Amino acid sequence: MGDSFSAGPLVLPQSELLTCARSSVNYPALLAERLNVDTARFRDVTCSSARTEDFANSQPGNVSGTAAPQYDALSKDTTLVTVGIGGNDIGLVGLVQACTNFLSSGASCKDRFTEGGVDQYAKKIDSFASTYGTVIEKIRERAPRARILMVGYPTGFKPGGCHPFVPILGEDADYVQANMDRLNRRMAEQADSHGATYVDLRTPSIGHDACRPASTKWIEGLFPSVVNNGFAPFHPNAEGMSQAVPTVAEAAVTTAPTAPGADPPNPKVLTYNSFLLSKALYPNWGQDHRAKEIPAASFYQGNDVVVVQEAFDNSASEALKSNSAAQYPYQTPVMGRSTSGWDATSGAYSSLTPEDGGVTMLSKWPVLRQEQYVYKEACGADSQANKGFVYAVLSVNGAKVHVVGTHAQATDPSCATGEPARIRSTQFKEMDAFLDGKDIPADEQVIVAGDFNVDSHSDEYAKVLADGGLADATRTGHPYSFDTQDNSIASERYPTDPRENLDHVLHRADHARPSAWTNEVVRQRSAPWSVTSGGKVYTYTDLSDHYPVVAGR
């Protein structure tokens, strides 16, 4: 069942051209072949231009004829159903068409669709989301024995696009991809809550988007390449259909439930205060250079989740995210920068606050939900920023893992004595209350990572653990994540400040967690880099004034 991304319009040979533009080598057909399904039992009712309403109603043909309701193919004997739907319901093709721009400049479609602070497509997707749940239940009514696979949409564009090769401006290509990702998240959420299985095609298709050469792309651009047997613009070609099969097949034959008593997933989590301060205020700290070098550093490789703080500078933070996309394709926006791209915004967010919150989360695994929360109280310079936390629900090998990324109140001499510690206590209590409100099952991990601005060697640390309901971790590596004697940037900026261990990755104490959990401060030098200020050259051998902390078992 599904729309054109499942049907394969104009991918030859076509088994049904005029009504549904359906290929005989689309992924449902190839999947049936791979699973040795009896041809008499296999029913492919995918149809180009289909919406969810066409599952229950007859669909007018693309050229001629009428397609029967797709639900009619189901029966009590059906054992497996794949569903790829939703793009036409939210107007994905219309979005791509509206964003097509053959000029190298001009009005951004993103600006048009987010005018007034309301993202029209995000609103459409969120309003549509519950329809996925309805579809799953309707299928189950007709096919109670069937395993239901909700198949997501693949990668359409690489970060920043590839104008003019694909004539969509970079910002707009990112906007289209963000909405495809949002639709996938809604599908995954509904699949999970209604007992179906979400199949992620986004991850395996990274590097095979419409921007790639004909020999490697799985999605066609505006001008399809005949060599790929794919003639429909912005749709999977024959290779894309073929490459989807292993992922869908694995989901079809893998049992979903985790064995009782099994250890929970063991994600490797990196937290890093990136020191990407606004260039408008701090123009000489090599932000652009470091935004390129940080993703290439060895400590940055091979993690499951990366939580970044102080990603304040807009262009440098976007460059860091773009340079990270190959490793970590699932990325939240920078919290506090706007409400666009978030599934929910709560706390004390204000569009009038001068600076954003500087926290973003980058993931190897699909993000099922992403929310931002802005703390209600701050002092000193922090009062001029939307600081708070990112909350994301990840699907790690099919298991839910909840991750919070935060940057708590800084110890600022312009605050009253004792005020920063009091505010941090309040902030961690806010976070704890927020998580309580999510009613997260006790057998699901909840990880809190970031710059707590609390030294693990201090008396305040025990209070923060209690306020946040957090369990401590084993410490290894360098003793200080913020070392004002050893770090080349910190020693210059804060020569009289104490050495502290401020950055942590901890589990919520009353939830599942691995049998052992370690926080390692990685003291890693960079190649020397220099900046010039006031006619003087300054050289550094670190990429931030904090050291990274890598956590895992």
Q: Which of 4, 48, 324, 544 is catalytic?
A: 4
What pLDDT does 275 receive? 99
pLDDT in tens, 187-245: 999 999 999 999 999 999 999 999 999 989 999 998 877 665 667 899 999 999 999 99
Query: Bridge-partner residues for 363, per DSSP?
Result: 305, 330
CATH number of 4-253: 3.40.50.1110
pLDDT in tens, 388-445: 999 999 988 878 999 999 999 999 999 999 999 999 999 999 999 999 999 999 999 9
Domain 269-552, CATH class in plain words: alpha beta
pLDDT at 260 over 70: no
Q: Is 414 a catalytic residue?
A: no
Q: What is the overall mean pLDDT for the chain?
A: 94
Beta strands 305-311 and 360-363: pairing type?
A: antiparallel
What pLDDT does 295 receive? 98
Contacts of 141 (CB under 8 A, 6+ apart): none
What pLDDT does 243 receive? 95
Rg (CA), the chain: 25
Q: Which residue has the tokens 């590596």?
A: 477
Where in the chain are the domains?
4-253, 269-552
| Average pLDDT of the residues in 131-151 | 96
pLDDT at 553 over 80: no
pLDDT at 63 over 90: no
Question: Terminus-to-terminus CA distance in the chain, angstroms?
Answer: 42
* Phi, psi values for residue 422, rounded to 5°: -65, -45
How is residue 370 written in tokens? 């992403």
pLDDT in tens, 303-349: 999 999 999 999 999 999 999 999 999 999 999 999 988 999 999 99
Going through 55-143 in order, the beta strands assigned E by DSSP cover 59-60, 66-67, 80-83
Q: Which of 6, 163, 205, 235 is catalytic?
A: 235
Contacts of 524 (CB under 8 A, 6+ apart): 297, 298, 299, 547, 548
* Phi, psi values for residue 81, rounded to 5°: -130, 125
Q: Is 351 a catalytic residue?
A: no
Q: Which residue has the tokens 């054992």?
A: 79
Determine whether 441 is exposed, middle or buried from the number of CB atoms within 10 Å of its CB (0-12, 13-18, 19+).
exposed
3-state secondary structure 135-198: HHHHHHHHCCCCEEEEECCCCCCCCCCCCCCCCECHHHHHHHHHHHHHHHHHHHHHHHHCCCEE
